[in-house]
Structure 1
Amino acid sequence: MSDLAIAAPVRAKRLPRQPRFAVRRLLPWLVPVLLLLAWEALARFGKIPPYILPAPTKVMLTGVALVQDGTLIPDIGISLLRAASGFAIGGAIGFGLGVAVGFSRTAGLLLDRTVLMLRAIPFLAVLPLVIVWLGIGEGAKIFLVAFGVTFPIYMNTVLGIRQVDPKLVELGKVTGLSTWMLIRRIILPGALPSILNGVRYALATAWLALVVAETIAASSGIGFLAMDAREFLRTDVIVLVIVIYAAIGVAADSVARLLERRLLAWHPNYAGETRR
């Protein structure tokens, strides 16, 4: 049999991969696009009153107008700064507590129950006390974000450390690794998938906490923009703010997933995602 006859089936198998790859990339956007088109059509034909839910094109034009008058971009920047500051503080606290409890049974006995009790407190229950302590300034908003972010990172850090295979730890000890090298080369890499999963949950929680803070006690930010629009029955601005929250949330999750693919390229469960 000739080389050409052998190569032909191979090419025939490889050709469909590109269309399948394109379909996989486009398929997640199918439902959102269809919903937008249906929303636009229903609003255009008067099936949905504008004061209940304005058309997507109206919301987009409102966003353009707010950008042009210098309102929207500063408010988005303020909200992002609050979320980033609270995430950094809460993430550092959660990771530190998680490492302490994950490595020490004594620390677990002292801290774990208290942390879980604090985790059960809703944002709205804590908000009045935070306002009494910190007022309605930036400190209160950053505190609420940090408060919400701490627990997902703490719990996933503890879980990740405790799920590291004991055989790998024993192997590291047998090969003569010091305690620090054992932690750096075996325990933390083994716990990293769980820690990064906690980061993804914490990003969603950070936005939830920020929404609570900005809609109740704020004079700037996109949450304040929505509350101000409510006073004037500006449904288009309220929907715009919801869309912005959703877009930022999706972008933050995409960054977290990219971080997973980069830091976990060695992991067999993430190697396929890295190549795609």
Structure 2
Amino acid sequence: MSQADHTAILALPGLASREPAASSAPVRGPRVFAPRVFGPRALLALSWLAPLLLVLVWEILAQTGYVTPQVLPAPSKVVRTAWRLATTGSLLTDLGTSLLRAAVGFVLGGSIAFGLGILVGFSRLAEALIDRSVQMVRAIPFLALLPLVIVWFGVGEGQKIFLVALGVAFPIYINTTLGIRQVDGKLLELGRVQGLSTAQMITRIILPGALPSILTGVRYALATAWLALVVAETIGAQAGIGFLAMDAREFLRTDVVVLTIVIYALIGVAADSLARLLERRLLAWHPNFGGAAR
């Protein structure tokens, strides 16, 4: 077994204390090229450059009349609409309703999917009993399930939370199973050499080794949650961002429709940033995440 493999297992949480400090030097991940002149803050500013330029061009085209307000209102008008709706309280109410639906659906669907992923990842018997059915349900489009879900739950909160839970379940399930199955066999062999019990192998090697894949599933699930919620809130909703968009469509309020799209985009960026923060916190031991940044 190579020195790199030996060092990699020592980087897993709780194993560093089993070896002398001299052998626990961290292995760095592959370096990503970036000129020295660009620090983290400069790179963050550059990541927002393209969206800001797009908004600026959009504003110029709208103000000069190349884009009519009926087709696409100016960003300044969208901001004024957002301020007006926020001051009346309706925007915050709808936003809070949508966030609550997404959070409850994410917790329910994510918890069930994580449990099934752990079960299938560790057991071939569980895979034979569960995986085929999960993959068949995953292949069914949301819109095809919508009539049946309405029959089951009506058009109340249950229908919306169920669709969100269903949407977030599949990315977490697949990535949890894949992460467990892809743990390096050499690390398991070294764990046995170290004298770890089965429980210690699971908690110190397998689950930490699968964590990057699991968190990738969480990032995909966060995006899917909002996609599912958009579909759910177009049917019989009395509050929420999707309801706000559908109500504005009836009155040809393109400024409100664009506002809801911008809100979805901003929530998506915030959710992805939260997932990245989780990666940096939970994978501080990993050479390609927290360890490489030190």
**Among 250, 270, 273, which residue is 1:254 paired with?**
273
**Among 125, 131, 135, which residue is 1:106 paired with?**
125
CA shift at 1:23, angstroms?
3.1
Q: Scaled by the length of structure 1, what TM-score is found?
A: 0.91
Change in Cα spacing, 1:95 to 1:70, as seen in structure 2 (3 Å) is: same
Partner in structure 1 of residue 227 of structure 2? 208
Unaligned 5+ residue runs, structure 2? 1-34
In 1, Cα distance between equivalents of 2:174 and 2:37: 40
CA shift at 1:70, angstroms?
1.1
CA shift at 1:192, angstroms?
0.2
Partner in structure 2 of residue 39 of structure 1? 58
In 1, Cα distance between equivalents of 2:175 and 2:90: 38
CA shift at 1:147, angstroms?
0.4
Partner in structure 1 of residue 188 of structure 2? 169
Write the letter of the residue equivalent to 1:27: L
Question: Is residue 139 of structure 1 aligned with residue 164 of structure 2?
Answer: no
CA shift at 1:22, angstroms?
4.0
Task: Please tell me whether the aligned partners of residues 261 and 273 of structure 1 are also in contact (alpha carbons under 8 angstroms).
Answer: no
CA shift at 1:169, angstroms?
1.5
Partner in structure 1 of residue 89 of structure 2? 70
In 1, Cα distance between equivalents of 2:213 and 2:123: 18
Task: Please tell me whether the aligned partners of residues 262 and 274 of structure 1 are also in contact (alpha carbons under 8 angstroms).
Answer: no
**Among 168, 179, 185, which residue is 1:149 paired with?**
168
**Alignment deviations for residues 3-23 of structure 1 (CA, whole Å, 9 cap, x no partner):** xxxxxxxxxxxxx94654443
Write the letter of the residue equivalent to 1:148: G
Partner in structure 2 of residue 179 of structure 1? 198
Question: Is residue 48 of structure 1 aligned with residue 67 of structure 2?
Answer: yes
CA shift at 1:176, angstroms?
2.5
In 2, Cα distance between equivalents of 1:273 and 1:69: 47
Question: Is residue 223 of structure 1 aligned with residue 242 of structure 2?
Answer: yes
In 2, Cα distance between equivalents of 1:145 and 1:110: 25
For CA contacts below 8 A with separation 6 or more, give which structure has more relative contact order.
Answer: 2
Change in Cα spacing, 1:201 to 1:273, as seen in structure 2 (3 Å) is: farther
Q: Scaled by the length of structure 2, what TM-score is found?
A: 0.86
Identity, in percent, stands at: 70
Q: After the TM superposition, which of the residue ranges 24-33 and 165-174 deviates more from structure 2?
A: 165-174
Question: Is residue 27 of structure 1 aligned with residue 41 of structure 2?
Answer: no
Unaligned 5+ residue runs, structure 1? 1-15
> What is the number of equivalent residue pairs in this alignment?
260
Write the letter of the residue equivalent to 1:200: R
Write the letter of the residue equivalent to 1:125: A
**Alignment deviations for residues 57-93 of structure 1 (CA, whole Å, 9 cap, x no partner):** 0000000000111100011001000000000011011
In 2, Cα distance between equivalents of 1:36 and 1:272: 37
In 2, Cα distance between equivalents of 1:120 and 1:19: 43
